[in-house]
Structure 1
Amino acid sequence: MNLQTFPVFALVLSTGCFSALPASGQFANPEVLEIAASGIFTADQHVLLRWTPANPKTWAWCRDSGYLLVRVTLEDTNGPLPGDEQSASIVQKTFLPKDQAAWEAAMLIDSIVGVAAGAYYGEDFTVASPDNEGIVTAHNIESEEENRFGMSLFAADVSTLAAEMQNLLFRDTTAQQGFRYAYIIRPGGQTGDQLLRPGRVSLSTDEVYVAPAPASFNAAPGDSLAILVWDQFATAGHYAGYNIWRSQNGGPFEQLNTEPVIATEGPDGKEPKALMFYARLENNTDSFSFRICGHSPFGFDGPFSETLTVKGVPAPLRAGIGISRTEETTAGMEIHWAFPDSLNASIQGFQVLRSGSHDGNYALLPSGMIAASERSFVDLSPLPAAYYKVAFTDVNGNEVTSNPQLAQLRDSIPPEPPGQVTGEAVGQSGLLRIHWSPGNSGDVMGYRVFMADQPDGAYGQVSKRWIRDTVFTYQVNVSSLTPYKYFRVKAIDHRENTSGFSPVCAVALPDIVPPSMPVLKQATPQGGGILISFAPSQSADIQQHHILRKKKDERDWQSVAVLDSLWGHASAEFFDTTAEQMYTYEYMIQAEDGAGLKSNSRVFRAKQSAGGGRETVGQLDAHFVKSEGIIRLRWSYHNTYGVTGFAIYRGPQPDQLYESGFVTAQQSVTGGQYDGPDPFQADASGMHIGDDAGNAVSGGHLPAGSFDLKQKGAPNTTHTTFCEYRDRSFLNFKPYYYAVIVKYADGTFSPMSNVVSASAY
C-alpha cells in the first residue's frame, strides 16, 4: 500500500481522551517544542508511559526526528537516593521514526494504523465523508496541518499499535517494586536553540493503577434492537473509547464493534454526558446479554460493566384505524370505524374508549374485546357530548388507538349559567383577569365573556370566540372615565346552545391619576406658632393630607402632621407650634389617594419671630417743615437685622391708608443708639472688630449717615435705629394721615404702626 495516497477522515476529538487537543489556533505556545506525558504502574509490575506532542510544530519535528526518553531513579526501597546515585541510575532510550515497511506491515494488522500513516505521510490530506457507522464524525478542521496532527493523535488513543508506530507509548519492564522513578520525554534530534518543554512523569511503583468500570449502564429493548446507554462522562478521563460485548441465549460473549465507540462533540462543541449504542438483534424471541468495557489510551481494556439481558419487543402492527362516523339511534350512540379486513387475522380484536373531554382520561366501555371482524359498537348509555376512541390489539399484545371523535346527542336545552365571577387588575397597565366557577351542566363546550361600563349597561362580547378555560384576561384603557369595568359570562354547550348571563362582576381599574391638588392659602406667623390655611383636595379617593415643612435652603421635606381625607371640607387649618423662632420655613400641603398617588400644593414661606410676630416701629412722628417744603416722618426701630425696608402708608382718613412709598433701611437711617454688648470691644480671646479704618471703637451714639454693624444688628442683639422719610407730594391746608410697616427679606412684616397726621400751610 502506498502511504502517500492513504485517505483519512476529519473528526471531533473527545476532550476526555489522553491526546485531547485544544481548539484550532488555541495551542498554549505553538512555537515551543512541548510534550505532555502521563504514566501508570500496572498490576503486572510494569510502568506504562504515554505522551503526545502539544502542538503541530512539535508533532512535525518528532515525526521526523523521533523522541528521547530518560529515566532517573529517585527512590529505592531504602528511601530517596543521593544526587550522585540518581545520576548513576540514568537510563536513556531513543525512539526513531519507523520506516515504510514497518508502517505497511502494521496497517495489515490494524486499519487504524492507516489513519496515522495517512496523517504522517499522505501527500494530499483531504477530508472525506465517513460512513454513517464509522468511528469518526466528519468535521471541518481549519488547516491541513492541524488536521494531520489531530488525526494521528486520535489514532494513537484508540489503537495501541498506532501509538507504538508513532513512538507515543513505552512499556518499562525493568521497573522494580517499591521504587520511585522520574521519566523525561523530549524531542529527538539536534534541537539547537529551540525552546523546549519536555514531558515529565514521576510515579511510585507502590501505587498500582486501577481502571474503573463503565458507570450507569442501562439497556432497553426495541423491535429486533437493544438500546445501550452509559455515562461516559464519569470515565472520560480514563478511556479513549468503549467496546461492546454480547451473548445470545447464554452463549459466549463476542465483541460487536470492530472499532472503539467514542464520544464526539455536538453542535454546541460539548460532549454528551451519556453514550448510546444501538445493537441489532437477530430476532425478538432469544435473550441477549450485553456488557461494555473502556479502552485506555495506555493500550488495555478496563473492567467490564454489569451484564444486562434484554429480549426484543415486536413493533405494533402497522395498520391505521379511525372512527368513520357516529350516529344517534334509539338504542344509544352507534360508533363505526374503518380497519383493513385483510388484517383481521393479525389482531385479537377491538375496544371502545370514551371521555367527557378531548384531552381527558378515556375509560374503557364495558363491552369486552370486540371481535376482529366487527366494525361498529353501540354505547347504550351515551353522554350528552363525549369523545370516543377505538383501539385494536395485535397478536403480540400491542395496542394502537385512533384519534378522538366527538359525538353529541340532539339537544336544544341551554346549559346553566356559570357560577360566581370574580376579577382583579394585574399590575398598572390595564390588564384585567376574570375567573369564574363552572355551572352544573355536563355538556358545556366553553364560555363567552361580556363587558360593560355600568352594571346595568349594554354588555358587549370581549372574548373573540368561545373559550374552554374558566380564566380570561382582557386589556382596557386605564384612562377610562369610569373607575370600574363590569363583566358577565355565558356558557355554551356542544350544540351551540347559550346560557343566560352569570352574576355581575365589578373589577376596579388600576389608579394612575393622582388626586387633585390641595390649595395652600396662607402661612401666617402668630403668637406661639405659624397658622397654615388650605383647601383640601376634592378627589373622591383621597385618603390623607400631609403637612410638609422644611427650613429655607434645605433640600429635604419633613412631615409635620398627617390629617385624614378631610372629605367634604372646603377649607382647613393647622397650627404649627413646633416652628423655631427667627427661622424661615417653607410649607407645602401634599394630598395622597388610596393608590398611593400624591399631588402637592404650591409653597408658602413664613418666619416665626420672637414673641410671636414682628415688632412695630416706635416713636412715629409727622410734622410739616415749611423751610424745606416737606412733611417729615421720623421713627425708631429695634434690630433692623433682616429688614428690607419700610412701607409708608398715607391717606385722607385714618381708615383709608394706602402704600404711598417704600424706603430701604439704608435710605431711611439717620442714626441710632446701640444698647447691646459692644461688638467692637475685644472679647475674651483678644479678638475685636474695628471701624472702617481698622481702629477699635466703643458703643454709644452713632453719627447720622453711618450704617454699619451697629445699625444693622444681628439676631438676638438689641439696639435702636432712628429713621426718617420726607414726603414732598401733598396739598396745602389738607391733613394727611401716616403709618409705617416694616418688611423683612423672608416675606414677613410687622403690624402697622400707630397713625399720625400732619398738614401743610
Structure 2
Amino acid sequence: MNSILKTYFYLLVLAFISTTSCTNAQEQAASVQVLARSLENKVLLRWAVDQPYEWKQANDYGFLIERATISRNGEAVIPIERQMLVSSPLKPKPQEEWIELANNDQNVAVLAQALFGKSFKTTAPSKGVLGNITAVNNELEQRFTFGLLAAEQSFDGALLAGWAFEDSKINANEKYVYKISVALTPESKIKINEGSTFAGSSLFEELPKPIGVTGSFKDNKVELSWNFDLLSSFYTSYQVERSENGSSFYKMNKAPIFNATNTEGNSTNTMFYADSIPNNIPFYYRIKGKTAFGEIGPASEIISGSAIKSLGFAPRISKKEIPDDYTAILHWEFKEEDNKLIKGFELKRSNKVDGPFATVQKDIPPNSRKTTFKNLQRINYFTIVAIGKNGVESPSFATIVQPVDSIPPMPPKNLNGVIDTTGILTLTWEKNIEQDLGGYRIFRAFSLNQEFSEITNKTHYKEEFIDTVKIKNLNTKVYYKIQAEDQRYNRSKFSEIITITLPDLTPPSSPVLKQYEVVEKGVKLKWIPSSSKDVASHSIYRKRSNEDNTLWQIVLETNNLKDTLFINELDSEPNTYSYLILAKDSTGLESKPTRPLNVTYRGSKITKEDIKFDGFVNRELRYINLSWKIKNQDVFEYRLYKGKDENNLKVYKTFNSSVKNYNDVTLTINTSYTYALQVIAKNGSISEMKKIELKY
C-alpha cells in the first residue's frame, strides 16, 4: 500500500493547504459536514468530520443516517415522518474489500492507507511545494487531510470508508432532510455535532458547463484558464481533454486538477493548466468538471489554436530626441541579420507605462532604425514592435518621452466642503483631466483679510482632503482654495474660494421678559431680544400654573427680530398662566429659557356687544315681555333695572343664570319705561348695562 501512496500525484500535497479547517476549527466543537446531490431517482450523500482527532474517533464509532420526510405533494408532512436508513453504524469496510478497487484507483489506495496504514508519510516533489506543506505538522493531520481529499476524488472510496450513502428508496413527490450523526456511546467523552442537509428528486438540476475558458497559445505551449469559483458548489476537480481533429478528445491529466489554495480572502478565482505542444499545428481543448459524487459534467466550449514560434529577440529604444514641444525622434537597435525574419516595425503609444498602447505608425521598413513622431502630448510612452513574418509581435520595453513643459494645469473646479461638530472637515473637488497631473496643494485662511497658508507640505494625490479645525475660536468661518500641480511641479491658478461656516456650539444669550399687562382679551407681554448676533427667532411658551404635568405650549415663534410685543388672547375663564421666552440661533441652538413669569387672568369682561336684550309691548294682555341672550359666557346671575328714564334706573329684579326672559305687568298706561340688563359672570366680572326704552 505504501508504494501506491508514493506514486500518488503531488498535487495532493498542495491541496492540504486548502484544508485550513483542521487548524481553525480546533477552536470550535467538531461537526459532521454534509453534502447532498439530488438525482431524479436517488439522493447521494457525502459527509466528513471536520477535525482530525474527532474524525479518527468517528471512524471507530461509525455514522447513523436519519431521513425525515417534511413535504409530500407540496404540503408539509405533520407530524414529520422519520426513518433510520441504516440498521447499524456505517464504518470503514474490512481491508480485504478495498484491494481490488485500490489497485485500480490511486485515490482509493491513499484513502485506505490513511485509514489502515501503520504509518503515513508524504514526500514533497520540490522545494517550492515543500514550503506549502509546513502546516502538516503531525501524522494524524496528514491522515485526516489526505483521507478527506482522496475521498473527495472517489465516491466509491467514500462508500467503502463509510462516508457516503446512496438513498434509492425515494419518491418523486417528497422532500427530505437527512441528518448524519456519529454513533457515540454514553461513555464517550468527545462531542461531535450532527450535520444535516435538504434533498429531494424535485431539486435535481443538470450539471453546468465550465465557464470562462480561455487559451493563450505561445511558443511550443498553450496556457488554459477557466473560472472555478462560480461553479465551486458543483465541482471539486477538473479534467482537461485535448484533440488534434476537434472531434476525438482524450484526457490529458492523470491526476485531478483542483484549487490548491484557500480562497477565503484570495482575489483569484481562476484555474490554470499548461500543455506543451509543437508549433504550427492546431490543437483543440475542452474542460470537464467532476463532482464530489464522482459525476463528470458536460464539456466546456472548445478552445482551439496553434503554438507559434516567437522571434526570440526584440528591439531596444536606444535614443530619443525632442527638437520641439510637439516632435520626437526615436532611435532603436535591432540585429541587421534578423531583418529577413520580420515584415517591419510598428510604433505604439500610450498615456501610461502599462498601456493600453495604440499603433500610431505602421509599415516601418525592416532596415529602418529611427522614426519621427509629431503631435506629442504632455506624457508619452512609446514602444517599438518588430512584426515577424509569421505574425508574431516582439515589442521593446516602453520608454517615456516628455517635452519641456511650462504649461500649468487648469484650476480645480467644483470645490465642496462639509464639517461636522467635532471639527472634521472634508474637502472634495472635480478631478483634473491633464494627463501629466501630479496632484494638488491646499490652502486655508480664517479671514479673507489674511493671507492663505498652505496646509499640504507635499503633493496631495486624491480629490479629497480631510482637515481638522478647532471649533471653539473667535472665527465663525474658514476659507479654502486649492491649486493643481503637474508632474513637473507647474502649478495652476487658484480655484475659487470656498467658504465653510463652522458649527455653532454656543447657544445664544437669553432674551429678557421686560413687562406684562393683563388686558381685556388676555395678557400683553414685552421683552428685550437676545443680544447674540446669530439669533434667528424668539419663541414664547405658556402653560397653566395649576397643572404641573402639563407640557409647555408654544404660543409665538417669530423670525422678526424687531418684534418685542405680543398679546396672548385667552379664554373667558379666569386662570393663572406661566410664560417663558427663549431665543434660537441659525443652527438651531436654543438659549436658556427665562424664569417663568406667573400671570393671573381674571377672565374677559362682558361687553354690551356680548348682550342681546329685547322688549315687546303687549297692551291687550297688559304686560311687557323682556328677553335676553349672552354670547359665550358663564353667567352667575342677571340684574334687571327699571325706571322712567335712564337717569332714574333702579334694581328691579335679579334672576339666576337659567332665566332668559321676564314679563313685567307693573305698568301704567301711556308711560315710557327704560329697562337695563346687567350680567354678573361666574369669574366675578360685571358687564356694562344694556338698555332699551319701551312705551306702554
Q: TM-score, normalised by structure 1?
A: 0.54
- SS for the counterpart of 2:94 is coil
Determine if the alignment matches structure 1 residue 557 to structure 2 residue 549: no
Task: For 1:416 and 1:41, locate their aligned partners in 2 and report how far apart those are by CA, in whole Å.
Answer: 68
Instruction: Check 1:144–1:514 CA distance in 2 against 1; reply closer, same or farther (3 A cut).
Output: same
Determine if the alignment matches structure 1 residue 116 to structure 2 residue 111: yes
Task: For 1:13 and 1:368, locate their aligned partners in 2 and report how far apart those are by CA, in whole Å.
Answer: 52
- SS for the counterpart of 1:408 is coil
Determine if the alignment matches structure 1 residue 532 to structure 2 residue 525: yes
Task: For 1:422 and 1:38, locate their aligned partners in 2 and report how far apart those are by CA, in whole Å.
Answer: 58
What are the superposed Cα offsets for residues 650-686 of structure 1, whole Å, 9 maximum, x if unpaired? xxxxxxxxxxxxxxxxxxxxxxxxxxxxxxxxxxxxx
Give the 5 Å matches for 1:241-640.
Answer: 241-250=237-246, 252-262=248-258, 266=262, 268=264, 276-295=271-290, 301=296, 304-312=299-307, 319=314, 321=316, 324-328=319-323, 333-337=327-331, 339=333, 341=335, 345=339, 348-351=344-347, 353=349, 365=360, 367-371=361-365, 374-380=368-374, 385-395=378-388, 396-398=391-393, 400=395, 402-403=397-398, 405-409=400-404, 418=411, 423-428=416-421, 429=423, 431=425, 433=427, 450-455=443-448, 457-465=450-458, 475-486=468-479, 505=497, 507-514=499-506, 516-522=508-514, 524=516, 526-528=518-520, 529-552=522-545, 553-554=548-549, 556-566=551-561, 572-578=564-570, 583-611=575-603
Structure 2 residues not aligned, in runs of 5+: 50-54, 65-86, 173-179, 189-194, 606-681, 685-696
Q: Which amino acid aligns with 2:451?
A: A
Task: For 2:497 and 2:16, locate their aligned partners in 1 and report how far apart those are by CA, in whole Å.
Answer: 65
- SS for the counterpart of 2:591 is strand
Pairing partner for 2:224 from 223, 227, 236? 227
Q: Compute the displacement of 1:596 (Å).
A: 2.4
Task: For 1:446 and 1:566, locate their aligned partners in 2 and report how far apart those are by CA, in whole Å.
Answer: 48
Q: Compute the displacement of 1:401 (Å).
A: 6.1
Q: Are the counterparts in 2 of residues 36 and 53 from structure 1 also a CA contact under 8 Å?
A: no
What are the superposed Cα offsets for residues 359-403 of structure 1, whole Å, 9 maximum, x if unpaired? 9997655x54444555544445556x4534233244244363644
Aligned residues: 544
- SS for the counterpart of 1:550 is strand
Q: Are the counterparts in 1 of residues 151 and 158 from structure 2 also a CA contact under 8 Å?
A: yes
Q: Which amino acid aligns with 1:282?
A: I
What are the superposed Cα offsets for residues 562-616 of structure 1, whole Å, 9 maximum, x if unpaired? 122425x8xx232322378664443322222222232234223213242589xxx
Structure 1 residues not aligned, in runs of 5+: 68-89, 179-185, 614-715, 719-761
Q: Which amino acid aligns with 1:117?
A: A
What are the superposed Cα offsets for residues 483-506 of structure 1, whole Å, 9 maximum, x if unpaired? 44455666777876667x658635
Instruction: Check 1:406–1:193 CA distance in 2 against 1; reply closer, same or farther (3 A cut).
Output: closer
Task: For 1:221 and 1:38, locate their aligned partners in 2 and report how far apart those are by CA, in whole Å.
Answer: 35
Task: For 2:595 and 2:283, locate their aligned partners in 1 and report how far apart those are by CA, in whole Å.
Answer: 92
What are the superposed Cα offsets for residues 334-368 of structure 1, whole Å, 9 maximum, x if unpaired? 4445546579647632415376x999997655x54
Instruction: Check 1:28–1:530 CA distance in 2 against 1; reply closer, same or farther (3 A cut).
Output: same
Q: Are the counterparts in 1 of residues 308 and 392 from structure 2 also a CA contact under 8 Å?
A: no
Give the 5 Å matches for 1:574-723.
Answer: 574-578=566-570, 583-611=575-603
Q: Compute the displacement of 1:508 (Å).
A: 3.8
Q: Which amino acid aligns with 1:431?
A: L
Task: For 1:260 and 1:416, locate their aligned partners in 2 and report how far apart those are by CA, in whole Å.
Answer: 57
Instruction: Check 1:525–1:227 CA distance in 2 against 1; reply closer, same or farther (3 A cut).
Output: same
Instruction: Check 1:375–1:454 CA distance in 2 against 1; reply closer, same or farther (3 A cut).
Output: farther
The Cα RMSD (Å) is 6.1
Q: Compute the displacement of 1:460 (Å).
A: 3.7
What are the superposed Cα offsets for residues 72-99 of structure 1, whole Å, 9 maximum, x if unpaired? xxxxxxxxxxxxxxxxxx9xxx997244
Instruction: Check 1:40–1:530 CA distance in 2 against 1; reply closer, same or farther (3 A cut).
Output: closer
What are the superposed Cα offsets for residues 297-337 of structure 1, whole Å, 9 maximum, x if unpaired? 666755545544344466786758457544335x9644445
Instruction: Check 1:58–1:467 CA distance in 2 against 1; reply closer, same or farther (3 A cut).
Output: closer
Instruction: Check 1:542–1:609 CA distance in 2 against 1; reply closer, same or farther (3 A cut).
Output: closer
Task: For 2:381 and 2:164, locate their aligned partners in 1 and report how far apart those are by CA, in whole Å.
Answer: 69
What are the superposed Cα offsets for residues 630-660 of structure 1, whole Å, 9 maximum, x if unpaired? xxxxxxxxxxxxxxxxxxxxxxxxxxxxxxx
Larger Rg: 1
Instruction: Check 1:122–1:558 CA distance in 2 against 1; reply closer, same or farther (3 A cut).
Output: same
Task: For 1:607 and 1:446, locate their aligned partners in 2 and report how far apart those are by CA, in whole Å.
Answer: 68
- SS for the counterpart of 1:389 is strand
